[in-house]
Amino acid sequence: MKRVFQQIDPPARLLMGPGPINADPRVLRAMSAQLVGQYDPAMTAYMDETQALYREVFRTANEQTVLVDGTSRAGIEAALVSLIEPGDRVLVPVFGRFGHLLREIAERCGAEVHTIEVPWGEVFTLEQITAAIERVRPKLLAVVHGDTSTTVAQPLEGLGEVCAKHGVLFYTDVTASITGNAFDTDALGLDAVTAGLQKCLGGPSGSAPATFSPRAVEAIRSRTSIEAGIRGDGDVTSSRRIASNYFDLAMIFDYWGPQRLNHHTEATTMLYGARECARLVVDEGLEQTIARHALHGSAMLAGVQGLGLEVFGDLAHKMNNVVAVVIPDGLDGDAVRGAMLTDFGIEIGTSFGPLHGKVWRIGTMGYNARRDTVLTTLSALEAVLRRAGAPITTGGGVGAAYDVYTDADRAAATEAAATAAATSAAAATAAAATETDGAGGAA
Protein backbone atom coordinates (compact mmCIF):
# COMPACT_ATOMS: atom_id res chain seq x y z
CA MET A 1 0.00 0.00 0.00
CA LYS A 2 1.32 3.39 -0.99
CA ARG A 3 2.19 5.66 1.93
CA VAL A 4 0.68 9.14 1.85
CA PHE A 5 2.76 11.93 3.31
CA GLN A 6 1.00 15.10 4.36
CA GLN A 7 2.38 18.61 4.23
CA ILE A 8 4.49 19.60 7.21
CA ASP A 9 2.26 21.08 9.89
CA PRO A 10 4.26 21.54 13.12
CA PRO A 11 2.31 21.76 16.38
CA ALA A 12 1.93 25.19 17.95
CA ARG A 13 4.81 25.62 20.38
CA LEU A 14 6.22 28.46 22.45
CA LEU A 15 9.94 27.69 22.56
CA MET A 16 11.20 29.06 25.89
CA GLY A 17 14.24 26.82 26.23
CA PRO A 18 17.90 27.65 25.62
CA GLY A 19 17.40 27.59 21.84
CA PRO A 20 16.20 27.21 19.24
CA ILE A 21 13.43 29.73 19.74
CA ASN A 22 10.44 30.71 17.62
CA ALA A 23 11.80 32.51 14.58
CA ASP A 24 10.62 36.06 14.03
CA PRO A 25 7.78 35.98 11.45
CA ARG A 26 9.61 38.62 9.43
CA VAL A 27 12.59 36.28 9.14
CA LEU A 28 10.34 33.45 7.96
CA ARG A 29 8.75 35.76 5.39
CA ALA A 30 12.19 36.75 4.10
CA MET A 31 13.09 33.08 3.77
CA SER A 32 10.05 32.44 1.58
CA ALA A 33 11.43 34.73 -1.15
CA GLN A 34 12.25 33.19 -4.54
CA LEU A 35 15.78 32.04 -5.37
CA VAL A 36 18.10 33.85 -7.75
CA GLY A 37 21.37 32.68 -9.25
CA GLN A 38 24.38 32.87 -6.96
CA TYR A 39 26.09 35.45 -9.19
CA ASP A 40 22.97 37.41 -10.06
CA PRO A 41 23.63 41.10 -9.28
CA ALA A 42 20.72 41.00 -6.82
CA MET A 43 22.31 38.07 -4.99
CA THR A 44 25.78 39.56 -4.76
CA ALA A 45 24.20 42.80 -3.55
CA TYR A 46 22.40 40.87 -0.80
CA MET A 47 25.72 39.30 0.16
CA ASP A 48 27.38 42.71 0.41
CA GLU A 49 24.46 44.03 2.47
CA THR A 50 24.63 41.01 4.77
CA GLN A 51 28.31 41.67 5.39
CA ALA A 52 27.62 45.32 6.21
CA LEU A 53 24.78 44.43 8.57
CA TYR A 54 26.84 41.88 10.50
CA ARG A 55 29.69 44.34 10.89
CA GLU A 56 27.20 46.39 12.91
CA VAL A 57 25.96 43.35 14.84
CA PHE A 58 29.51 42.26 15.71
CA ARG A 59 30.66 45.86 16.20
CA THR A 60 33.63 45.49 13.93
CA ALA A 61 35.31 47.07 10.95
CA ASN A 62 36.58 43.67 9.75
CA GLU A 63 36.37 43.32 5.98
CA GLN A 64 36.12 39.55 6.33
CA THR A 65 32.69 39.36 7.93
CA VAL A 66 30.83 36.51 6.23
CA LEU A 67 28.33 33.70 6.62
CA VAL A 68 29.45 30.09 6.90
CA ASP A 69 26.77 27.82 5.49
CA GLY A 70 25.72 25.46 8.27
CA THR A 71 24.70 25.60 11.91
CA SER A 72 26.68 27.54 14.50
CA ARG A 73 28.97 24.52 14.86
CA ALA A 74 29.91 24.94 11.20
CA GLY A 75 31.20 28.41 12.05
CA ILE A 76 33.24 27.02 14.93
CA GLU A 77 34.74 24.30 12.75
CA ALA A 78 35.54 26.72 9.94
CA ALA A 79 37.33 29.09 12.30
CA LEU A 80 39.33 26.41 14.07
CA VAL A 81 40.27 24.25 11.09
CA SER A 82 41.35 27.36 9.16
CA LEU A 83 43.42 28.84 12.00
CA ILE A 84 44.93 25.67 13.49
CA GLU A 85 47.64 23.55 11.93
CA PRO A 86 48.60 20.12 13.27
CA GLY A 87 50.84 20.48 16.30
CA ASP A 88 49.72 24.02 17.17
CA ARG A 89 49.14 24.68 20.83
CA VAL A 90 45.59 25.75 21.71
CA LEU A 91 44.30 26.85 25.11
CA VAL A 92 40.63 26.26 25.95
CA PRO A 93 39.16 27.49 29.25
CA VAL A 94 36.28 25.07 30.00
CA PHE A 95 33.36 26.17 32.16
CA GLY A 96 30.54 24.21 30.50
CA ARG A 97 29.58 21.83 27.73
CA PHE A 98 30.66 24.03 24.86
CA GLY A 99 34.19 24.50 26.15
CA HIS A 100 34.49 20.73 25.83
CA LEU A 101 33.22 21.08 22.26
CA LEU A 102 35.93 23.62 21.41
CA ARG A 103 38.53 21.26 22.84
CA GLU A 104 37.28 18.32 20.78
CA ILE A 105 37.16 20.25 17.52
CA ALA A 106 40.66 21.64 18.13
CA GLU A 107 41.93 18.12 18.84
CA ARG A 108 40.37 16.89 15.59
CA CYS A 109 42.29 19.68 13.84
CA GLY A 110 45.48 18.08 15.15
CA ALA A 111 46.18 20.68 17.82
CA GLU A 112 48.01 20.11 21.07
CA VAL A 113 45.14 21.22 23.30
CA HIS A 114 45.59 22.48 26.84
CA THR A 115 42.60 23.15 29.09
CA ILE A 116 41.86 24.83 32.37
CA GLU A 117 38.58 24.18 34.14
CA VAL A 118 36.29 25.63 36.78
CA PRO A 119 33.10 24.03 38.14
CA TRP A 120 30.03 24.49 35.93
CA GLY A 121 28.24 27.65 36.94
CA GLU A 122 31.46 29.59 37.56
CA VAL A 123 33.72 31.64 35.27
CA PHE A 124 37.44 32.36 35.10
CA THR A 125 39.22 35.46 36.31
CA LEU A 126 41.44 37.37 33.93
CA GLU A 127 44.39 36.36 36.08
CA GLN A 128 43.62 32.65 35.73
CA ILE A 129 43.51 32.78 31.95
CA THR A 130 46.54 35.04 31.76
CA ALA A 131 48.57 32.63 33.88
CA ALA A 132 47.54 29.76 31.61
CA ILE A 133 48.54 31.72 28.49
CA GLU A 134 51.94 32.48 29.99
CA ARG A 135 52.41 28.81 30.92
CA VAL A 136 51.12 27.17 27.73
CA ARG A 137 52.24 29.79 25.16
CA PRO A 138 49.45 28.81 22.73
CA LYS A 139 48.98 29.92 19.16
CA LEU A 140 45.25 30.30 19.82
CA LEU A 141 43.01 31.01 22.80
CA ALA A 142 39.55 29.56 22.15
CA VAL A 143 36.85 30.50 24.64
CA VAL A 144 33.07 30.38 24.70
CA HIS A 145 31.50 33.72 25.58
CA GLY A 146 28.11 32.58 26.88
CA ASP A 147 27.56 28.89 27.58
CA THR A 148 23.88 27.97 27.66
CA SER A 149 24.63 24.70 29.45
CA THR A 150 25.44 26.72 32.58
CA THR A 151 23.75 30.05 31.62
CA VAL A 152 26.84 32.09 32.57
CA ALA A 153 29.00 34.32 30.37
CA GLN A 154 32.78 34.45 30.58
CA PRO A 155 34.09 38.03 30.92
CA LEU A 156 36.36 38.77 27.95
CA GLU A 157 37.62 42.20 28.97
CA GLY A 158 41.40 42.39 29.11
CA LEU A 159 42.01 39.13 27.27
CA GLY A 160 42.60 40.88 23.95
CA GLU A 161 45.48 42.84 25.40
CA VAL A 162 46.98 39.73 26.97
CA CYS A 163 46.72 37.81 23.70
CA ALA A 164 48.24 40.65 21.70
CA LYS A 165 51.13 40.90 24.16
CA HIS A 166 51.95 37.20 23.78
CA GLY A 167 51.20 36.88 20.05
CA VAL A 168 48.15 34.69 20.63
CA LEU A 169 45.16 34.59 18.28
CA PHE A 170 41.93 35.21 20.21
CA TYR A 171 38.74 33.34 19.19
CA THR A 172 35.32 33.21 20.81
CA ASP A 173 31.98 31.55 20.10
CA VAL A 174 29.09 33.97 20.73
CA THR A 175 26.24 31.80 19.48
CA ALA A 176 24.35 32.00 22.78
CA SER A 177 25.13 35.60 23.65
CA ILE A 178 25.29 37.82 20.56
CA THR A 179 22.70 40.69 20.53
CA GLY A 180 21.35 39.60 23.91
CA ASN A 181 24.39 40.66 25.91
CA ALA A 182 27.00 43.39 25.61
CA PHE A 183 29.66 42.40 23.08
CA ASP A 184 32.09 44.42 20.98
CA THR A 185 34.48 42.52 18.71
CA ASP A 186 36.97 45.29 18.02
CA ALA A 187 36.98 46.80 21.51
CA LEU A 188 37.69 43.37 23.00
CA GLY A 189 40.59 42.75 20.62
CA LEU A 190 39.15 39.59 19.13
CA ASP A 191 40.64 37.95 16.06
CA ALA A 192 37.83 35.50 15.23
CA VAL A 193 34.19 35.36 16.28
CA THR A 194 31.47 32.94 15.19
CA ALA A 195 27.75 32.84 15.95
CA GLY A 196 24.41 31.28 15.01
CA LEU A 197 20.91 32.57 14.34
CA GLN A 198 18.76 30.40 16.59
CA LYS A 199 19.00 32.31 19.85
CA CYS A 200 18.98 36.09 20.39
CA LEU A 201 19.17 36.81 16.65
CA GLY A 202 15.68 35.32 16.32
CA GLY A 203 16.16 33.04 13.32
CA PRO A 204 16.45 29.35 12.50
CA SER A 205 19.59 27.31 12.87
CA GLY A 206 21.49 26.85 9.63
CA SER A 207 23.71 29.88 9.06
CA ALA A 208 26.79 30.93 11.02
CA PRO A 209 27.76 34.62 10.89
CA ALA A 210 31.48 35.08 11.48
CA THR A 211 34.07 37.83 11.50
CA PHE A 212 37.87 37.79 11.30
CA SER A 213 40.50 40.41 12.09
CA PRO A 214 43.30 41.29 9.64
CA ARG A 215 45.67 39.27 11.84
CA ALA A 216 43.46 36.18 11.60
CA VAL A 217 43.00 36.71 7.86
CA GLU A 218 46.77 36.83 7.40
CA ALA A 219 47.14 33.51 9.24
CA ILE A 220 44.37 31.94 7.16
CA ARG A 221 45.58 33.29 3.82
CA SER A 222 49.10 31.98 4.50
CA ARG A 223 47.54 28.56 3.91
CA THR A 224 45.62 29.45 0.75
CA SER A 225 45.23 26.56 -1.67
CA ILE A 226 42.68 26.91 -4.46
CA GLU A 227 41.13 23.59 -5.44
CA ALA A 228 42.22 22.18 -8.77
CA GLY A 229 38.92 22.46 -10.63
CA ILE A 230 38.70 26.23 -10.17
CA ARG A 231 42.39 27.09 -9.93
CA GLY A 232 43.65 29.70 -12.35
CA ASP A 233 47.09 30.57 -13.61
CA GLY A 234 49.13 32.00 -10.78
CA ASP A 235 46.86 30.62 -8.01
CA VAL A 236 48.85 29.21 -5.14
CA THR A 237 48.78 25.69 -3.73
CA SER A 238 49.99 25.72 -0.15
CA SER A 239 51.82 22.78 1.33
CA ARG A 240 50.03 23.70 4.59
CA ARG A 241 46.55 23.76 3.12
CA ILE A 242 43.51 23.90 5.37
CA ALA A 243 42.34 20.36 6.19
CA SER A 244 38.70 20.95 5.19
CA ASN A 245 37.59 22.01 1.72
CA TYR A 246 34.07 23.02 2.72
CA PHE A 247 35.25 25.03 5.73
CA ASP A 248 38.33 26.49 4.01
CA LEU A 249 37.97 30.16 4.98
CA ALA A 250 40.67 31.26 2.55
CA MET A 251 38.42 30.19 -0.33
CA ILE A 252 35.23 31.32 1.45
CA PHE A 253 36.71 34.83 1.78
CA ASP A 254 37.26 34.90 -1.98
CA TYR A 255 33.72 33.64 -2.56
CA TRP A 256 32.35 36.57 -0.56
CA GLY A 257 34.84 39.06 -1.98
CA PRO A 258 35.10 40.78 -5.36
CA GLN A 259 36.74 37.69 -6.87
CA ARG A 260 33.52 35.68 -6.31
CA LEU A 261 35.47 32.43 -6.34
CA ASN A 262 33.13 29.57 -7.27
CA HIS A 263 33.82 27.66 -4.05
CA HIS A 264 30.26 26.54 -3.28
CA THR A 265 26.66 27.47 -4.01
CA GLU A 266 25.43 29.84 -1.33
CA ALA A 267 22.48 28.66 0.79
CA THR A 268 20.30 31.43 -0.61
CA THR A 269 17.27 30.96 1.61
CA MET A 270 19.44 30.91 4.73
CA LEU A 271 21.21 34.05 3.54
CA TYR A 272 17.83 35.77 3.23
CA GLY A 273 17.05 34.73 6.80
CA ALA A 274 20.44 35.71 8.20
CA ARG A 275 20.25 39.09 6.47
CA GLU A 276 16.80 39.74 7.94
CA CYS A 277 17.94 38.73 11.44
CA ALA A 278 20.70 41.32 11.30
CA ARG A 279 18.49 43.93 9.62
CA LEU A 280 15.95 43.66 12.44
CA VAL A 281 18.64 44.16 15.08
CA VAL A 282 20.08 47.17 13.29
CA ASP A 283 16.58 48.58 12.77
CA GLU A 284 15.73 48.19 16.47
CA GLY A 285 19.19 49.39 17.50
CA LEU A 286 21.77 47.04 18.98
CA GLU A 287 21.71 48.74 22.39
CA GLN A 288 17.91 48.54 22.45
CA THR A 289 17.99 44.85 21.49
CA ILE A 290 20.40 44.10 24.33
CA ALA A 291 18.28 46.17 26.74
CA ARG A 292 15.15 44.24 25.69
CA HIS A 293 16.86 40.96 26.50
CA ALA A 294 18.08 42.36 29.83
CA LEU A 295 14.57 43.50 30.77
CA HIS A 296 12.75 40.29 29.96
CA GLY A 297 15.57 38.16 31.30
CA SER A 298 15.39 40.08 34.58
CA ALA A 299 11.64 39.56 34.71
CA MET A 300 12.03 35.81 34.16
CA LEU A 301 14.74 35.60 36.82
CA ALA A 302 12.60 37.51 39.30
CA GLY A 303 9.63 35.34 38.41
CA VAL A 304 11.26 31.99 39.09
CA GLN A 305 12.71 33.37 42.31
CA GLY A 306 9.26 34.73 43.18
CA LEU A 307 7.91 31.18 42.92
CA GLY A 308 10.44 30.21 45.59
CA LEU A 309 12.71 28.34 43.17
CA GLU A 310 16.50 28.33 43.44
CA VAL A 311 18.59 29.65 40.55
CA PHE A 312 21.80 27.87 39.55
CA GLY A 313 25.12 29.52 38.78
CA ASP A 314 26.99 32.75 39.39
CA LEU A 315 24.28 35.38 39.03
CA ALA A 316 26.89 38.12 38.71
CA HIS A 317 27.86 36.58 35.37
CA LYS A 318 24.49 35.20 34.23
CA MET A 319 23.55 35.81 30.62
CA ASN A 320 20.55 38.09 30.07
CA ASN A 321 18.75 35.58 27.90
CA VAL A 322 18.65 32.29 29.83
CA VAL A 323 18.22 31.22 33.44
CA ALA A 324 18.97 27.83 35.05
CA VAL A 325 16.41 26.77 37.65
CA VAL A 326 17.32 24.12 40.21
CA ILE A 327 14.77 21.29 40.11
CA PRO A 328 13.25 20.95 43.60
CA ASP A 329 14.03 17.76 45.51
CA GLY A 330 11.57 14.95 44.93
CA LEU A 331 10.32 16.39 41.65
CA ASP A 332 10.56 14.61 38.29
CA GLY A 333 12.09 17.31 36.12
CA ASP A 334 11.32 15.58 32.84
CA ALA A 335 7.69 15.08 33.89
CA VAL A 336 7.36 18.81 34.56
CA ARG A 337 8.87 19.63 31.17
CA GLY A 338 6.52 17.12 29.58
CA ALA A 339 3.48 18.68 31.21
CA MET A 340 4.58 22.15 30.13
CA LEU A 341 4.78 20.91 26.54
CA THR A 342 1.68 18.71 26.48
CA ASP A 343 -0.69 20.91 28.47
CA PHE A 344 0.52 24.40 27.55
CA GLY A 345 2.54 23.96 24.36
CA ILE A 346 5.59 25.52 26.05
CA GLU A 347 9.06 24.04 25.75
CA ILE A 348 11.70 24.59 28.42
CA GLY A 349 15.08 22.89 28.47
CA THR A 350 17.04 20.45 30.53
CA SER A 351 20.85 20.45 30.66
CA PHE A 352 23.88 18.22 30.10
CA GLY A 353 26.73 16.53 31.89
CA PRO A 354 26.89 17.18 35.64
CA LEU A 355 23.71 19.30 35.43
CA HIS A 356 21.57 16.72 33.64
CA GLY A 357 18.35 16.19 35.58
CA LYS A 358 19.32 18.89 38.08
CA VAL A 359 18.23 22.10 36.37
CA TRP A 360 15.73 23.44 33.89
CA ARG A 361 16.90 26.10 31.47
CA ILE A 362 14.41 28.79 30.50
CA GLY A 363 15.25 31.20 27.72
CA THR A 364 13.96 34.67 26.90
CA MET A 365 15.61 35.46 23.61
CA GLY A 366 15.09 36.80 20.14
CA TYR A 367 11.46 37.07 19.08
CA ASN A 368 10.44 35.44 22.39
CA ALA A 369 12.02 38.15 24.56
CA ARG A 370 8.63 39.71 25.22
CA ARG A 371 6.41 40.48 28.22
CA ASP A 372 3.59 38.16 27.16
CA THR A 373 5.87 35.14 26.70
CA VAL A 374 7.50 35.67 30.11
CA LEU A 375 4.18 35.99 31.95
CA THR A 376 2.64 33.06 30.07
CA THR A 377 5.61 30.79 30.84
CA LEU A 378 5.62 31.70 34.53
CA SER A 379 1.86 31.12 34.79
CA ALA A 380 2.15 27.70 33.16
CA LEU A 381 5.16 26.73 35.28
CA GLU A 382 3.31 27.63 38.47
CA ALA A 383 0.28 25.55 37.44
CA VAL A 384 2.38 22.50 36.57
CA LEU A 385 4.46 22.74 39.74
CA ARG A 386 1.37 23.05 41.92
CA ARG A 387 -0.14 19.93 40.37
CA ALA A 388 3.18 18.13 40.96
CA GLY A 389 3.02 19.03 44.63
CA ALA A 390 5.96 21.40 44.70
CA PRO A 391 6.04 23.94 47.56
CA ILE A 392 5.82 27.20 45.62
CA THR A 393 4.55 30.70 46.30
CA THR A 394 1.13 31.05 44.69
CA GLY A 395 1.12 34.01 42.31
CA GLY A 396 4.70 34.78 43.20
CA GLY A 397 6.14 34.28 39.74
CA VAL A 398 3.88 36.53 37.72
CA GLY A 399 3.77 39.03 40.57
CA ALA A 400 7.54 39.36 40.75
CA ALA A 401 7.80 39.69 36.98
CA TYR A 402 5.12 42.38 36.98
CA ASP A 403 7.15 44.29 39.58
CA VAL A 404 10.13 44.32 37.21
CA TYR A 405 7.96 45.56 34.36
CA THR A 406 6.29 48.21 36.52
CA ASP A 407 9.66 49.58 37.59
CA ALA A 408 10.83 49.60 33.97
CA ASP A 409 7.64 51.35 32.82
CA ARG A 410 8.06 54.03 35.47
CA ALA A 411 11.69 54.57 34.58
CA ALA A 412 10.78 54.84 30.89
CA ALA A 413 8.00 57.33 31.66
CA THR A 414 10.35 59.44 33.78
CA GLU A 415 12.97 59.42 31.04
CA ALA A 416 10.37 60.32 28.40
CA ALA A 417 9.11 63.22 30.54
CA ALA A 418 12.65 64.48 31.08
CA THR A 419 13.37 64.26 27.36
CA ALA A 420 10.14 66.09 26.52
CA ALA A 421 10.93 68.81 29.06
CA ALA A 422 14.44 69.24 27.67
CA THR A 423 13.09 69.39 24.12
CA SER A 424 10.47 71.96 25.12
CA ALA A 425 13.06 74.09 26.91
CA ALA A 426 15.38 73.94 23.90
CA ALA A 427 12.52 74.94 21.60
CA ALA A 428 11.60 77.85 23.87
CA THR A 429 15.22 79.03 23.95
CA ALA A 430 15.46 78.81 20.16
CA ALA A 431 12.19 80.70 19.75
CA ALA A 432 13.35 83.43 22.11
CA ALA A 433 16.61 83.76 20.21
CA THR A 434 14.74 83.98 16.91
CA GLU A 435 12.44 86.67 18.32
CA THR A 436 15.41 88.66 19.59
CA ASP A 437 17.14 88.41 16.21
CA GLY A 438 13.97 89.53 14.49
CA ALA A 439 13.54 92.49 16.79
CA GLY A 440 17.14 93.50 16.19
CA GLY A 441 16.63 93.35 12.43
CA ALA A 442 13.48 95.49 12.62
CA ALA A 443 15.31 98.13 14.60
> Could you give the CA distance from residue 386 to residue 300 in angstroms, rounded to a whole number?
18
E strand residue ranges, 52-88: 64-69
What is the structure's pLDDT at 421? 81
Does residue 274 contact residue 197 with C-beta atoms inside 8 Å? yes
What are the average pLDDT values for consecutive 10-residue runs of the chain, which has 443 residues?
A: 89 96 98 96 98 98 98 98 98 97 98 97 98 98 96 98 98 98 98 98 98 98 90 82 96 95 95 98 98 98 97 96 96 96 97 91 98 98 95 94 95 85 78 72 49
pLDDT at site 443 = 43
Q: Residue 26: exposed, middle, or buried by beta-carbon count in 10 A (0-12, 13-18, 19+)?
A: middle
pTM, to two decimals: 0.93
Which region, left, alpha or beta, applies to residue 206 given φ > 0 means left and ψ of -120 to 50 means alpha? left
The torsion of the CA quartet 195, 200, 206, 209, rounded to 10 degrees, works out to -30
First to last CA, the chain: 100
Cβ neighbourhood burial of 431 (10 Å; 0-12, 13-18, 19+): exposed
Identify the CA nearest to 79 among candidates 186, 192, 226, 217: 192
Are 213 and 100 contacting, i.e. CB atoms less than 8 angstroms apart?
no
pLDDT at 417: 84
Is 242 in contact with 250 (CB distance < 8 Å)? Answer: yes
pLDDT at 441: 54
Q: How far is it, in rounded angstroms, from Cα 206 to Cα 269?
A: 10
How far is Cα 315 from Cα 323, in angstroms, rounded to an integer? 9
